[in-house]
Each structure stands twice: as structure tokens, then as C-alpha cells.
Amino acid sequence: MDSSKLGRSMYELMMRTSTELPEDVTCALEKAREREPVHSTAANTLDIILKSAELSRANRLPICQDTGVPFAVVRAPQAVDTAEITRALVSALKTLTIEGVLRQNCVDPVNGSNSGDNTGPHVPQVHYEPSEGPIRVDFMLKGGGSENVSTQYSLPCDELRAGRDLEGVRRCVLDAVFKAQGRGCAPGFISVCIGGDRASGYLVAKKGLFRKLGEANPDVDLARLESVITEEANMLGIGPMGLGGNTTLLGCALNAAGRHPASFFVTVSYSCWATRRYSVELDETGGVARWL
Amino acid sequence: MALRRIRSPMDPETAASLAVGDTVLVSGRIVTGRDQVHRYLASGGESPLDLTGMVLYHCGPIVVGDAGSHRVVAAGPTTSMREEPYQADVIARFKPGAVMGKGGMGERTSKALVEHGNRYPAGDAPACRGYVFPGSWNRSVHRDWCRPFWTTPVGVAPAPGNPCPGARGTVP
């Protein structure tokens, strides 16, 4: 691989993620605006959101000042030097932080100091998955506010009268959306992991946010439940930025992971309206083959 | 729902005249502060600025540059609920005109706002960035803080196609 080409690809991937709202998210927000009464607070809020996203795209400025936690999933054949990809990601991260496209978001939890360049212990997160095909990099910037309202349930849950079935899952997800109110910057996109363990639940749920809004779940039962949850969440009245309205959720992605017989976790990853993620496929030289 | 134009700092009558559901355009001078600033102020710390009548904005902007040449790239609101433990005390001590943020706040803040005649406008996360004229922020750093106060003159959003001074567009 050509390291300078690879570096430019990672730079462009991160730049785009911070400054260009993905097309599926923009479309979902536009559709949501049409559902809101003209001149309502909800419609005005969505107007401002869309206008601001347009300005960010045109001027290559961050969509949100909270440029989140950098999170990457790399799929590559065994022969690929993954350390080289990590180096390219870290270098692009540091450059974009200096340029102000990314905020310095890595704070030492013990002494409160900010590393200043978005790197630190376990930051950035880069997950490698072996694959047969070309190198694919999925990159996400997920803001702190939306991460704070993400949550995990252990079923059965008395408080929600949620049992170990899909009805229990529905109750958990709606509870998470309700408790988030406007704090997660609604209208959000949620991805859920049904099953798994405490750790894999959060990882699978977060990775599920790479699914595009409007893309159907191949599992018929889960697809049906996704529609039900989205529809019911939009009846909660939380609305854009929590200021009231018919649009609280843009979409829901349900994922399943094998569970231990004794455990039944439901993990909800909440993503704000500024859902920022892009996926790119690289050619052998490290250049961008295509955007996915 | 009315569109209101107010200047910061403001007098208590202006703050009290704002109603729930109003859209507010702020110009003048505002001040930002997040968790550490609020904790500092609530626990007896002194402000390097007079906060009376000011719009206190819950915001952690992206700022680039060194001392003397700061450029604000983005400055949307952060989740206000994190300031809930401190906000009422900060309002009582420093009498800001309004608190601006997102996601709503709790009962203690609500009571303090009523008691002191202030208001809490909620912001649209990204939009506030458009409203800010970058490049003219001044930083006041207090020796005890990790997080500085930022103050800035604000105005209405630049029109589309009229990029902020902080605009960029090249890949190195």
C-alpha cells in the first residue's frame, strides 16, 4: 500500500464524516419535516437542522461541535498490514484535530487532562475483522450526549414488566427513547443488540448504526418490530431536540447476538440526528475505490 | 409563537418577557461554560467577567489557534442537564439574564429561573454555530480551571453561500 494515499483516504473519510450528513439521514430528516405541521416548533427545528447541515457540507465545517468518539471497523484480508491502517487513522485524526474539524475529545478520567489530539488509552477504537474481499473501513463519530443516553437492560425487568421475549425488547427500547427525551438530540436513530453479553451487546448495537436508514432487516420478525418501535416512539411527542412534535425517532435497527442461557440483555445504542458515519472501500494502493 | 430579538446582556424585564415557545435571536455578548465552570462557580469561585444579565450558554466550542488568535469553528449547545446540580446556585450568585442550552433542565433550575426572573432558551444543536461570528472570541482563563470561559459577540446567521471566516475546503 502507498502510505500517503492511504493517509489521504483516511483523512477524507474522517473529514466527510464530521462535515457531511449522510444522504440517508438527510432524506429521513426531510421526510420528517413534511410530517410536521407548517410553522410548528418541530418543523422550524428540522428546518434549522437541515439548513445547518447544508452549511456544514458547503463549508467543510463540523456538523456538530461535539465530534464524538472516533470509532472504526476495518475489514481486511489476513495479508494486510493492519498496523499501517491504524497509523493512517491516528495520523488523520491528529491532523483534523489541529485543523478544528474534530474537537479535542479525549480526557484522562483520573487527572482530567485533555490529550489534545484525540488519542489516549483505548482511543481511537479500531476493530479489525478478517474478510475475503477488498479492504473496507467503516468510520463513525458518535457524540457524548447520545452516548450518555445509550443503555443496557437485563431481562426480566420488573419495573418495565419486560420478559425475555420480543415484547420485552419493545418495552426496553421505548423506555430508553422515553428516558432520553431531548438529551440525545432527537430525532435519533437507535440500534439495539438483543442478547450477547455485557460487552458484546454495546459493540454489536453500536456497529448496527452503520446500517443505512430505510434499509430493511432481512429477518421478518425483527423488521416488523423495528416498524412498530419507530411508529410508537414517534407517538411519544418528544420531538426534534425535545421541543415537542411527531418526530422522535428516524429509525430503529435490531440485531441479534447469541446469549448465555442465564442472561438476556437488551442494549440500546442511541445516535443523535447528527448520525455521522461513512464506509469506504479501498483499492490495493490504499486509495478510495468507492464510497459505500 | 413569536420571533424575539434580544441583546445580551439584558435587563430583567426583557428576560421576563420571553414566553415558552418563542424563537429568540440573540445578539450582543454571550458567555459559554460547561461542567467545570459551573462547578467552580457554584462552589464559591469568582467569575473573571460580570455575568449580570448575560446569556450563559452551555457549550463546548471547537476552538483552534493559540492565545490571541482564536478561531471558533463550531459552537452548538451541549446537554444542559449536566449543569443541573450547579445551575440554581450559579443563577442565585451571578444573576445571568438567560441560560441557553439543550435537552431541558430539572426542577431546581426551573425554580431558580422563576425566582430570579431569568429564562432558559433551548438551542438547536448545530444552528447556534451558524449564529456565531467566529474569529472574534476572547478567552478568559482562570488559574483554577481546565475549561475556560469563552465570550463572544454574536449575531444572526450568515446567509448560505457566505461562508464563515473559519471555512476550509482542501485536502492536503
**Portion 113-132 of B in contact with A at CB < 8 A:** 122-127, 129-130
* Digit-coded pLDDT (tens) for A200-236: 999 999 999 999 999 999 999 999 999 999 999 999 9
Statement to judge: residues A261 and A166 lie in one domain? yes
Total structural domains within chain A: 2
Supply φ then ψ for residue A198, to 5 degrees: -55, -40
Q: Which residues of A touch B169 (CB under 8 A)?
A: 59-60
Q: Which residues of A touch B168 (CB under 8 A)?
A: 59-61, 99, 101
Statement to judge: residues A138 and A255 lie in one domain? no
Which of A65, A114, A248, A275 to mutate to probe the B interface, most B CBs <10 Å?
Answer: A65
CA distances from A140 to A69, A83, A117, A137, A196 (A): 8, 19, 17, 10, 22
The amino acid sitting at A212 is K
Residue B58 annotated among the catalytic residues of the structure: no
* Digit-coded pLDDT (tens) for B25-38: 777 788 888 888 89
Statement to judge: residues A137 and A226 lie in one domain? no
Residues of chain A below pLDDT 70: none
**Residue A145 and residue B103 in contact, taking contact as beta carbons nearer than 8 Å:** yes
Verify cis geometry, omega within 30 degrees of 0, for the bond prior to A156: yes
Closest CA to A188 of A144, A140, A222, A233: A233
Supply φ then ψ for residue A290, to 5 degrees: -165, 155
Cβ–Cβ below 8 Å for B124 and A45: yes
Cβ contacts of A122 within 8 Å, gap of 6 or more: none
A250: phi > 0 → left, psi -120 to 50 → alpha, else beta; which? alpha
Statement to judge: residues A127 and A13 lie in one domain? yes
pLDDT at position B141, please? Answer: 37
Statement to judge: residues A9 and A129 lie in one domain? yes
Statement to judge: residues A115 and A257 lie in one domain? no
Closest CA to B116 of B133, B93, B143: B93
Residue extents of the structural domains in chain B? 3-149
Statement to judge: residues A189 and A119 lie in one domain? no
Verify cis geometry, omega within 30 degrees of 0, for the bond prior to B9: yes
Supply φ then ψ for residue A9, to 5 degrees: -65, -45
Do the domain assignments include residue A52?
no
Handedness of CA A242, A246, A249, A250 (dihedral sign): negative
Statement to judge: residues A156 and A67 lie in one domain? no
Supply φ then ψ for residue A24, to 5 degrees: -65, -35
Give the confidence band of B160 by pLDDT, cuts at 50, 70, 90: very low
Instruction: Say yes or no: B1 contacts chain A, CB-CB below 8 A.
Output: yes
Cβ–Cβ below 8 Å for B146 and A112: yes
Instruction: Say yes or no: B163 contacts chain A, CB-CB below 8 A.
Output: yes
Q: Which residues of B touch A183 (CB under 8 A)?
A: 79, 81, 102-104
Give the Cα-Cα-Cα angle B51, B57, B62 (nearest 5 degrees).
120
Q: Which residues of A touch B81 (CB under 8 A)?
A: 183
Statement to judge: residues A198 and A137 lie in one domain? no
C-alpha B51/C-alpha B68 separation (Å) is 22
Cβ–Cβ below 8 Å for A63 and B126: yes
Do the domain assignments include residue A49?
no
| Residue among B38, B58, B70, B142 flagged as catalytic | B38
**Residue A210 and residue A22 in contact, taking contact as beta carbons nearer than 8 Å:** no
**Residue A236 and residue A183 in contact, taking contact as beta carbons nearer than 8 Å:** no
Mean per-residue pLDDT, B123-145: 36
Cβ–Cβ below 8 Å for B60 and A11: no
Q: What is the CATH number of domain B3-149?
A: 3.20.130.10
Place of cell 415558552: B20
Instruction: Say yes or no: B153 contacts chain A, CB-CB below 8 A.
Output: no
Statement to judge: residues A256 and A151 lie in one domain? yes
How close, in Å, is residue A80 to chain B by CA atoms?
25
Can you tell me whether residue A291 is helix, strand or coil? Answer: strand
For residue A206, the surrounding DSSP H or E stretch is helix A198-207
CA distances from A110 to A14, A68, B104 (A): 28, 20, 29
pLDDT at position B170, please? Answer: 23
| Whether the predicted pLDDT of B16 surpasses 50 | yes
Between A59, A65, A184, which is nearest B60 by CB? A65
Mean per-residue pLDDT, B8-32: 80
Q: Which residues of A touch B60 (CB under 8 A)?
A: 65-66, 103
pLDDT at position A51, please? Answer: 86
Instruction: Say yes or no: B159 contacts chain A, CB-CB below 8 A.
Output: no
Mean pLDDT in chain A? 95
Do the domain assignments include residue A29?
no
Closest CA to A227 of A261, A254, A256: A254
C-alpha B11/C-alpha A215 separation (Å) is 52
Cβ contacts from A onto B, under 8 A: 129
Do the domain assignments include residue A282?
yes
Above pLDDT 90, what percent of chain B?
5
Cβ–Cβ below 8 Å for B166 and A182: no
**Residue A17 and residue A62 in contact, taking contact as beta carbons nearer than 8 Å:** no
| Whether the predicted pLDDT of B146 surpasses 60 | no
Closest CA to B100 of B135, B146, B152: B152
What is the pairing mode between strands B71-74 and B62-64? antiparallel
Cβ–Cβ below 8 Å for A64 and B125: yes
C-alpha A143/C-alpha A70 separation (Å) is 9
pLDDT at position A18, please? Answer: 97
**Domain extent at residue A181:** 145-271
Cβ contacts of B19 within 8 Å, gap of 6 or more: B2
Between B62, B102, B161, which is nearest A103 by CB? B62
Q: What is the CATH number of the domain that holds A99?
A: 3.30.360
A242: phi > 0 → left, psi -120 to 50 → alpha, else beta; which? left
Cβ–Cβ below 8 Å for A67 and B124: no
Please tell me which residue of chain B has the smallest CA distance to A182: B103
Cβ–Cβ below 8 Å for B171 and A53: no
| Whether the predicted pLDDT of B152 surpasses 70 | no
| Whether the predicted pLDDT of B58 surpasses 90 | no
ipTM over 0.85: no
Mean per-residue pLDDT, B83-103: 88
Q: Which residues of B touch A243 (CB under 8 A)?
A: 122
Statement to judge: residues A227 and A134 lie in one domain? no
| Whether the predicted pLDDT of B80 surpasses 80 | yes
Do the domain assignments include residue A53?
no
Cβ–Cβ below 8 Å for A100 and B79: no
* Digit-coded pLDDT (tens) for B40-51: 889 998 887 888
Q: Decide which of B156 and B7 is more confident.
A: B7
Statement to judge: residues A209 and A224 lie in one domain? yes
- For helices A82-98 and A3-19, what crossing angle results, to 10°? 50
